[in-house]
C-alpha cells in the first residue's frame, strides 16, 4: 500500500533493439528512447549493482520505504526480447500497451500480450491511439481513450487492468481525475520523482527515463536514490523553455488524438500495390501531414519501396535551430518571429488543433504505413553518406517529396528517371517559401491561396509546374488550416501523377517564364500579424 512517504524508484524505457526500424514508433523523435541490447543489459547490471531487484505494483513490496520498478511504454515488438532479458534475472516489469497498434508490423500481437501476462509481467494501458499531448484532450476524449484500451486488454488477458501510463508523460488535474474516475489504481507519469501522490483511490507514480546513451553509472546512482532533484530541475526548465520560447514547435511536432472510431481496421480498403509500377521512394518528415502523404501514396496502390524520414529536431527545444536563425536573420527578426507565433497560437491554437484532427487521421496513417511493410530509414540529412547509400540500394525510379528539408542535386539524381515530385501549399512562383497562405492573404489575394505540384530543382519551389489549384476559403479557416488542406491535396495529386506514370503517360512539367523578385517569403513576425490582424477579412476576387 502506497503512502505519501513511500519512495519508489521507477525506470521508464521504451524499445530495446539493435535495429530501431524493427520495433516501436517509426519517427525520429522516438530514436532517443531506443536502446541497444548491450546498453540495456548494462543498465540492468547497474540497477542490480545498487542492491535492488525490481518489484511490481500488483504485489507487496519488499521494503516499506524504498523500492524499484521497471516500466516499458508503447508496446513495441521488442517487448518480447525485454521480457526474455528480465526473465533470465527472475525480474518482472510493467508493459504499457498502445492498443491501437496491436498486431501491426512494429508492435506486439495479442498472443505476445497473453505470453507477457502468463510470465507474470504486469500489463497496463498506454491509451488506444497514443495522443502525445494527452493532457490537452477534452475529458470525454481522454475517457474514450482509456475505456477503449482497457476493454481490449482485459479481453486479451481475461483480467482486470489496474495500471495505466499516460502518453507523453505530462499530466494535469483533468488527466489525473479522468484516470481516477475510470477505476485504475496506478497511473505512471514522467515526473522524475521518487514520491507518489493520490487522487482518490488512484496512486500517481513518477518515473525517470534514461535515454539512449545514458551512462550505466548514472543509472546506478538513480537506482540508489541520487540525482532526482537535478532530473526534476532539468524537466521543469524544459517545460518553461518550451512554454516561453517555442510552443509552436510543440504544437506541430507532437502527435494529436484522432477519433477512436476511425482508428479501426485502417488500410483494409487499400488498392493492390502495382508491383510492376515505378519503384517509388518517399522523402518525408515526421509530422502528421507527412505521414498522411505516405499513407495516401501507399493506399493509392503505388509501388512504394521505401520511406526516408528526415528530422533534425529530434528532441527537446530546438535551440540549435533558433541560434542558426539568429545568425541568418538577426536577433530582432528572430525574436519578432517567435513572438508572432506565440501571438498567433494564443488566439488560434485550440481551433487549429481541432481542424488538424479533422483533416488528418494520424492513427490510420500510421497503421497504413505499418501494414505496407516497406523499409523505413531515419536520418537528419538526405545527403548524408549513409542515407544516399540506403536510397541507392532501393533502386528507385522516382522520388516523391513532402519535407521541409533540402533535397540536394546528388539525391535528386539517384532515381532512374532523375525525377522528384514535390509540392508546396502555395501558388508558385508568386508565393514560395514559408507561410505562403499568410502572405497571400496579407496582400489581399485570395486567388493565390492554393497549392502547387512540381518537379524539384535547385531552387526554392521553382521547379517545372505539373499541377496547380486554388483552395476555397471557408470562414472557419486560418492560415495554417488552409496550408494543411493544400498538403492533403498535394499528396492526392502526387498519387495520381504516379498512377499516370505507371500507365505509361509522360507527365511533363511546365517551366516558369520567370521567377518574380521577392517571391520567396519568410516566417511572419509579430509586427506582420498585428499589421494584418487576426480577424481576417477574407478577400474575394482581388487580383494584382
Helices (H) and strands (E) in the chain, counts: 17, 19
Q: Which of 321-325, 466-470, 481-485 has the lowest mean pLDDT?
A: 321-325
pLDDT of residue 60: 54
Scan for cell 502572405, then name that residue.
Answer: 439
pLDDT, mean over the chain: 84
Tally Cβ neighbours within 10 Å of residue 420: 23
Dihedral sign (CA 407, 411, 415, 416): positive
Tally Cβ neighbours within 10 Å of residue 170: 18
**Is 80 exceeded by the pLDDT of residue 76?**
yes
Scan for cell 471557408, then name that residue.
Answer: 474
**Is 70 exceeded by the pLDDT of residue 116?**
yes
All residues at 6 or more sequence positions from 270 whose CB lies less than 8 Å from its CB, including other chains: 298, 299, 301, 368, 371
**pLDDT single digits (tens) 307-335:** 999 987 544 445 555 666 677 778 888 88
What mean pLDDT is predicted for residues 64-73? 82
**pLDDT single digits (tens) 291-308:** 999 999 999 999 999 999
The DSSP annotation for 405-448 comes to S---HHHHTSSTT--EEEEESS-TTTSEETTHHHHHHHTT-GGG
SS3 content of the chain, % helix, strand, coil (to 5): 40, 15, 40
pLDDT band at residue 452 using 50, 70 and 90 as cut-offs: very high
Scan for cell 480498403, then name that residue.
Answer: 269
Scan for cell 486488454, then name that residue.
Answer: 153
**Is 50 exceeded by the pLDDT of residue 430?**
yes
Q: Which of 188-192, 198-202, 528-532 has the lowest mean pLDDT?
A: 528-532
- The most confident of the ranges 231-235, 486-490, 528-532 is 486-490
**Is 70 exceeded by the pLDDT of residue 243?**
no
pTM higher than 0.85 = no
> Starting from the edge strand earliest in sequence, which strands make up the sheet with 66-72, in order?
7-13, 66-72, 94-97, 122-125, 163-165, 186-188, 202-205, 197-199
**Is 90 exceeded by the pLDDT of residue 255?**
no
Bridge partners for 152 per DSSP: none
The more confidently predicted of residues 138 and 72 is 72
Instruction: Put residue 413 in one of left, alpha, beta given phi > 0 → left and psi -120 to 50 → alpha.
Output: alpha
Rounded-to-integer distance, Cα 208 and Cα 192, Å: 5
What mean pLDDT is predicted for residues 420-428? 94
pLDDT band at residue 442 using 50, 70 and 90 as cut-offs: confident
Check whether the bond before 382 is cis (ω within 30° of 0): no
**Is 50 exceeded by the pLDDT of residue 248?**
no
Give CA 537 to chain center in angstroms: 34
Length, in residues, of the chain: 544
**pLDDT single digits (tens) 85-112:** 999 999 999 999 999 999 988 999 999 9
**Is 90 exceeded by the pLDDT of residue 278?**
yes
pLDDT of residue 114: 97
Rounded-to-integer distance, Cα 13 and Cα 203, Å: 20
Range 7-245 classified under CATH 3.40.630.40 = no
The DSSP annotation for 308-363 comes to EEE-S--SS--HHHHHHHHHHH-HHHHHHHHHHHHHHHHHHHHHHHHHHHHH--HH
pLDDT of residue 315: 41
Rounded-to-integer distance, Cα 330 and Cα 342, Å: 19
Check whether the bond before 347 is cis (ω within 30° of 0): no
**Is 90 exceeded by the pLDDT of residue 83?**
yes
**Contact indicator for 442, 536 with CB cutoff of 8 Å:** no
- Residue 78 to residues 16, 107, 217, 487: CA-CA distances in angstroms? 6, 8, 24, 34
**Is 50 exceeded by the pLDDT of residue 43?**
yes
**Contact indicator for 365, 488 with CB cutoff of 8 Å:** no
- Cell reading at 473: 476559403
3-state secondary structure of 305: strand
What mean pLDDT is predicted for residues 447-459? 92
pLDDT band at residue 268 using 50, 70 and 90 as cut-offs: very low
pLDDT of residue 279: 94
**Is 60 exceeded by the pLDDT of residue 259?**
no
Please name which of 72, 129, 71, 121 lies closest in space to residue 98, comparing C-alpha atoms.
129
**Are β-strands 420-424 and 450-455 bridged in parallel, bridged antiparallel, or unpaired?**
antiparallel
**Is 70 exceeded by the pLDDT of residue 544?**
no
pLDDT of residue 334: 82
What mean pLDDT is predicted for residues 2-7? 55
DSSP conformational letter for 383 = T
> What are the residue ranges of helices labelled H in 25-138?
37-49, 79-88, 110-118
The more confidently predicted of residues 446 and 185 is 185
pLDDT of residue 235: 72
- Residue 458 to residues 309, 423, 523: CA-CA distances in angstroms? 21, 14, 21
**Residue 456, class by beta-carbon neighbours within 10 Å (0-12 exposed, 13-18 middle, 19+ buried)?**
buried
pLDDT of residue 291: 94
- Cell reading at 17: 533493439
Tally Cβ neighbours within 10 Å of residue 346: 11
**pLDDT single digits (tens) 337-395:** 888 888 888 887 788 888 888 999 988 999 999 888 889 998 889 999 999 999 999 99
The more confidently predicted of residues 543 and 392 is 392
What mean pLDDT is predicted for residues 16-25? 88
3-state secondary structure of 287: coil
Tally Cβ neighbours within 10 Å of residue 117: 17
Q: Where are the domains of the chain?
A: 7-245, 248-256+270-532
Rounded-to-integer distance, Cα 343 and Cα 345, Å: 6
- Alpha-carbon dihedral angle through residues 223, 228, 230, 234, given to the nearest 10 degrees: 110
**Contact indicator for 528, 435 with CB cutoff of 8 Å:** no
92-101 burial, b at 16+ Cβ within 10 Å, e below that, comes to bbbbbbbbbb
Please name which of 105, 104, 102 lies closest in space to residue 113, comparing C-alpha atoms.
102
> What is the CATH number that goes with domain 248-256+270-532?
3.40.50.12230
The more confidently predicted of residues 471 and 422 is 422
pLDDT of residue 298: 95
Tally Cβ neighbours within 10 Å of residue 318: 17
Amino acid at each position: 500500500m502506497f503512502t505519501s512517504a513511500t519512495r519508489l524508484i521507477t525506470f521508464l524505457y521504451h524499445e530495446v533493439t539493435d535495429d530501431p526500424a524493427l520495433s516501436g514508433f517509426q519517427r525520429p523523435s522516438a530514436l532517443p528512447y531506443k536502446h541497444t541490447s548491450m546498453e540495456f543489459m548494462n543498465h540492468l547490471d547497474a540497477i542490480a549493482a545498487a542492491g535492488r531487484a525490481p518489484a511490481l505494483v500488483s504485489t507487496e513490496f519488499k521494503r516499506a520505504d524504498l523500492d524499484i520498478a521497471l516500466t516499458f511504454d508503447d508496446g513495441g515488438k521488442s517487448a518480447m526480447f525485454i521480457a526474455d532479458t528480465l526473465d533470465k534475472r527472475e525480474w518482472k516489469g510493467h508493459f504499457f500497451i498502445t492498443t491501437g497498434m496491436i498486431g501491426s508490423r512494429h508492435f506486439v500481437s495479442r498472443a505476445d500480450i497473453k505470453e507477457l501476462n502468463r510470465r507474470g509481467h504486469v500489463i497496463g494501458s498506454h491509451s488506444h491511439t497514443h495522443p502525445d499531448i494527452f493532457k490537452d484532450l477534452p475529458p470525454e476524449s481522454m475517457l474514450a481513450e482509456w475505456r477503449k484500451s482497457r476493454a481490449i486488454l482485459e479481453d486479451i488477458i481475461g483480467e482486470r487492468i489496474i495500471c495505466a501510463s499516460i502518453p507523453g508523460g505530462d499530466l494535469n488535474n483533468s488527466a489525473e481525475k479522468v484516470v481516477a474516475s475510470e477505476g485504475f489504481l496506478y497511473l505512471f507519469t514522467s515526473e522524475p520523482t521518487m514520491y507518489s501522490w493520490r487522487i482518490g483511490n488512484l496512486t500517481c507514480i513518477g518515473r525517470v527515463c534514461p535515454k539512449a546513451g545514458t551512462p550505466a553509472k548514472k543509472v546506478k546512482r538513480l537506482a540508489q536514490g541520487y540525482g532526482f532533484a537535478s532530473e526534476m530541475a532539468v524537466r521543469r526548465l524544459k517545460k518553461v523553455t518550451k512554454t516561453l520560447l517555442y510552443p509552436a514547435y510543440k504544437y506541430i511536432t507532437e502527435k494529436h488524438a484522432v477519433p477512436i472510431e476511425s482508428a479501426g481496421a485502417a488500410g483494409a480498403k487499400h488498392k493492390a500495390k502495382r508491383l510492376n509500377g515505378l519503384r517509388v521512394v518517399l522523402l518525408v518528415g515526421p509530422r502528421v501531414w507527412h505521414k498522411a502523404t505516405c499513407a495516401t501514396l501507399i493506399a493509392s496502390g503505388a509501388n512504394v519501396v521505401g520511406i526516408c524520414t528526415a528530422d533534425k529536431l529530434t528532441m527537446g527545444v530546438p535551440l540549435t535551430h533558433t541560434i542558426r536563425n539568429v545568425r541568418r536573420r538577426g536577433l530582432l527578426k528572430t525574436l519578432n518571429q517567435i513572438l508572432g507565433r506565440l501571438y498567433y497560437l494564443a488566439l488560434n491554437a485550440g481551433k487549429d488543433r481541432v481542424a488538424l484532427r479533422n483533416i488528418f487521421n494520424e492513427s490510420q496513417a500510421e497503421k497504413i504505413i505499418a501494414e505496407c511493410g516497406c523499409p523505413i530509414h531515419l536520418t537528419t540529412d538526405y545527403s548524408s553518406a549513409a542515407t544516399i547509400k540506403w536510397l541507392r540500394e532501393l533502386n528507385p525510379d522516382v522520388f516523391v517529396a513532402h519535407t521541409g528539408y533540402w533535397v540536394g542535386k546528388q539525391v535528386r539524381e539517384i532515381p532512374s528517371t532523375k525525377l522528384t515530385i514535390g509540392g508546396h501549399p502555395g501558388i508558385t512562383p508568386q508565393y514560395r517559401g514559408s507561410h505562403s497562405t499568410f502572405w497571400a492573404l496579407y496582400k489581399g489575394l485570395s486567388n493565390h491561396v492554393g497549392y502547387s505540384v512540381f518537379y524539384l530543382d535547385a531552387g526554392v519551389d521553382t521547379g517545372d509546374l505539373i499541377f496547380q489549384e486554388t483552395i476555397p476559403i471557408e470562414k472557419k479557416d486560418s492560415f495554417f488550416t488552409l496550408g494543411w488542406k493544400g498538403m492533403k491535396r498535394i499528396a492526392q495529386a502526387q498519387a495520381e501523377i504516379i498512377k499516370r506514370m505507371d500507365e505509361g503517360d509522360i507527365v511533363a512539367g511546365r517551366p516558369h517564364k520567370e521567377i518574380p523578385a521577392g517571391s520567396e517569403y519568410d516566417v511572419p513576425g509579430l509586427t506582420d500579424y498585428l499589421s494584418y490582424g487576426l480577424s481576417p477579412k477574407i478577400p474575394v476576387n482581388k487580383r494584382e
